[in-house]
Structure 1
């Protein structure tokens, strides 16, 4: 294996969701200067789901015109669009237009929609492209995908986004009759004061644009660097005399280990007991199980739980909220590293780990529902438990996502296309289900980072 190829695959993966992840972590700084205010997250949710028109088009093309659409030109287009959109965002995110008698941040919303199209479409183009490299590099790609959330979060923390300090809301100066110094007497009510950022949102968006440029350069090198070419020179994907219909069969056979290949004829004799999906390794029921788990895991990690993270953590304090968000972002690439060195493809273990992670997700959801007075709200143990619950939730389900990606990689090119499509479908269903609960019906109440009035 080539270290250079691993690095390039990681940098390429970082471009998958870095733009939208960056937008989310920058929200506390953006919402204070636009007319939409804290309604912006609701708009973002709708825009991201509308952007699924990109993955839908790619998936339908692969389904009805297989072999016609080459993902490489599409990747060049969407990454280039991401570079331009993030750069323009740096200069126009504050601009407003009057629509229907009220001000709206039209440039911000339009550019965010374009970035959503870029990132959503990456799910059904980046993964199939990784089919061109050896299987080991797919896990490295998932590491980069995890870093696409971690790196913007760390930069935002350095920027000071969302950091608050608590001070008395009202202060009275009472002159001390017997001393020269005045005494400050507070009302006892604390107010959360957001600290000024160390650098502006414009600089942050330029940083996101640079990240997209890095991803594009990595993609170019993955296509043209001689060291990378040696990593795929034996891959039957590049055999020009293979018809598109046989290409996937060649890929599937090539992905098998030498010990498996003598069993091909034996597997062919039992093919009627297997599904027609991929190379027929799994039965129809097993294929359905894999995709249901994939949709469920992505619904939880990409939409359902992130929409209530602030409700579950803020009652324990601002430090607990930032610590859980940061450590959860770290847990994603850590899970990918674990999967790289300890791959377990057992469907039984996958199901167990999904239930394990779902259990911690249920705890986080329960604490969000109990906000602003969740369990152990006044204790350090409650803070430790909520942070640990978020870490284990992301760690376990991220491992499941990587395992499914590796499994589907061995099933062929179209399997990875469907993998990306199901990822987006699960995320969309999760977002659609949570949007009315959070933004319309207001079933969750936010805790106060400075004032938590709950019974002891």
Structure 2
């Protein structure tokens, strides 16, 4: 039955961000059929930040009326909304309306906002709900959350989204028009042509709707299946996290772990095992001092800003100069690295703040290299060389791997501290992502500081 609970926790985690991640990977296919064209990513960035009204409401409720808000009705509501919105998106994403001075994809934008509310609110509801289960299932949930990016990316690869073939511009014009036009270059310059998809965007959005139904089914079983209910009751009997759910801060002070191990103690402390641990702060169970709590939340905001907003916004600039294959390989393997990091954390859950700081600095270093290559686009270091291509792909993998591990470890640490700590964990995740997006939006979309590489033509000096 423990295996069943692990599977359900993983499927539940997949539903956390699968809808918005699916929207991002489907962009190359849908932008050619909507009036916003490639301005849609900029619109999506703003829409996702507006959707933070959901987690803001939940966080304020927990702050000013602790125990008044039960996560389960909220989760049923937002997952049900996600099922409906993805289903409608499959049939309405092409629909246009005249607004102001032109046509706009009103249905697509409104449904994208609703899906953003669903996914953003999951950060402050799904995690606290996992407090009802024993601690080992939290890492499985994080694995599912990582798969929420990998699964739609793999489906998009099967669909053939963004696959480019390079054709001579003159030949393409002759084939299309039967004669050479004045706009056709005879210099032999290559032009990128996107291959038609193996199945439609409608089918892809219906797949996302099915994934949300699976998430809803997993959540139902996590609440109603007798084996899972027994584990929840065992957690309450042992004075575990579920005992404090709905009880506010008093409930958090009673939170405990089954079979606590020495590594669940603060790694920076110098207390003997048999010595009674005095609370070091009023946060959670008092395991960490106020300074250490501030450090943990600053790291959490920083790594989520980098992984959820800053670096994804310039991924194409950092990879496309090395070729379309490098771009797709980096995107796919980086998506694989996320659940791999969660899998590693399942067996090596090191809670050392020193290690956390070291991994954060290391991951930030990888991110700095990626940012530098994006700034140098379309002529980054080692362009047109196999070593340059391999280096940018490996850097993306290591960047996601190290910082994803940090995020999971922080989640484990805050899970040990209680229900409200996980609520604040979700809120800080959204805050960091929002600050990262707000920082990068003007640089990328307003001031145009980055120049995209051409997957078919290299114009860099040898």
Q: SS of 1:233's equivalent?
A: helix
Q: SS of 1:67's equivalent?
A: coil
Q: Does 1:452 align with 2:458?
A: yes
* Contact 1:171–1:186, Cα closer than 8 Å, also in 2: no
Q: SS of 2:145's equivalent?
A: helix
**Once the two structures are superposed, what CA deviation does each residue of 1:112-149 show, in whole Å capped at 9, x if it has no partner?**
00000000000000000000001000000000000000
* Contact 2:244–2:250, Cα closer than 8 Å, also in 1: no
In the other structure, the counterpart of 2:334 is 328
In the other structure, the counterpart of 1:129 is 129
1:248, distance to aligned residue in structure 2 (A): 1.6
* Contact 1:255–1:410, Cα closer than 8 Å, also in 2: no
* Contact 1:171–1:187, Cα closer than 8 Å, also in 2: no
| Distance in 1 (alpha carbons) for counterparts of 2:248 and 2:299 | 30
1:275, distance to aligned residue in structure 2 (A): 1.5
Aligned-residue RMSD, C-alpha = 2.1
In the other structure, the counterpart of 1:144 is 144
Correspondences of 1:369-448 after superposition (within 5 Å): 369-448=375-454
Q: SS of 1:188's equivalent?
A: coil
Could you tell me which of 240, 257, 260 is aligned with 1:257? 260
1:455, distance to aligned residue in structure 2 (A): 1.1
Could you tell me which of 296, 302, 306 is aligned with 1:300? 306
**Once the two structures are superposed, what CA deviation does each residue of 1:74-128 show, in whole Å capped at 9, x if it has no partner?**
0000000000000000000000110112000000000000000000000000000
Could you tell me which of 357, 370, 375 is aligned with 1:351? 357
Distance change >3 Å, CA 357–CA 171, structure 1 → 2:
same
In the other structure, the counterpart of 1:181 is none
* Contact 1:160–1:196, Cα closer than 8 Å, also in 2: yes
Extract unaligned runs of 5+ from structure 2.
175-184, 266-271
In the other structure, the counterpart of 1:113 is 113
In the other structure, the counterpart of 2:68 is 68
Correspondences of 1:16-35 after superposition (within 5 Å): 16-35=16-35
1:240, distance to aligned residue in structure 2 (A): 9.4
TM-score by length of 2: 0.92
In the other structure, the counterpart of 2:162 is 162
Q: Does 1:246 align with 2:246?
A: no
In the other structure, the counterpart of 2:198 is 198
| Distance in 2 (alpha carbons) for counterparts of 1:240 and 1:350 | 28
* Contact 2:66–2:246, Cα closer than 8 Å, also in 1: no
* Contact 1:172–1:186, Cα closer than 8 Å, also in 2: no
| Distance in 1 (alpha carbons) for counterparts of 2:92 and 2:302 | 37
Distance change >3 Å, CA 426–CA 171, structure 1 → 2:
same
1:230, distance to aligned residue in structure 2 (A): 2.3
Correspondences of 1:278-317 after superposition (within 5 Å): 278-317=284-323
* Contact 2:10–2:142, Cα closer than 8 Å, also in 1: yes
* Contact 1:367–1:374, Cα closer than 8 Å, also in 2: yes
1:247, distance to aligned residue in structure 2 (A): 2.0
In the other structure, the counterpart of 1:86 is 86
Distance change >3 Å, CA 34–CA 232, structure 1 → 2:
same
TM-score by length of 1: 0.93
Q: SS of 1:235's equivalent?
A: helix
Extract unaligned runs of 5+ from structure 1.
175-184
| Distance in 1 (alpha carbons) for counterparts of 2:44 and 2:444 | 14
**Once the two structures are superposed, what CA deviation does each residue of 1:170-226 show, in whole Å capped at 9, x if it has no partner?**
13999xxxxxxxxxx973210000000010000000000000000000000000101
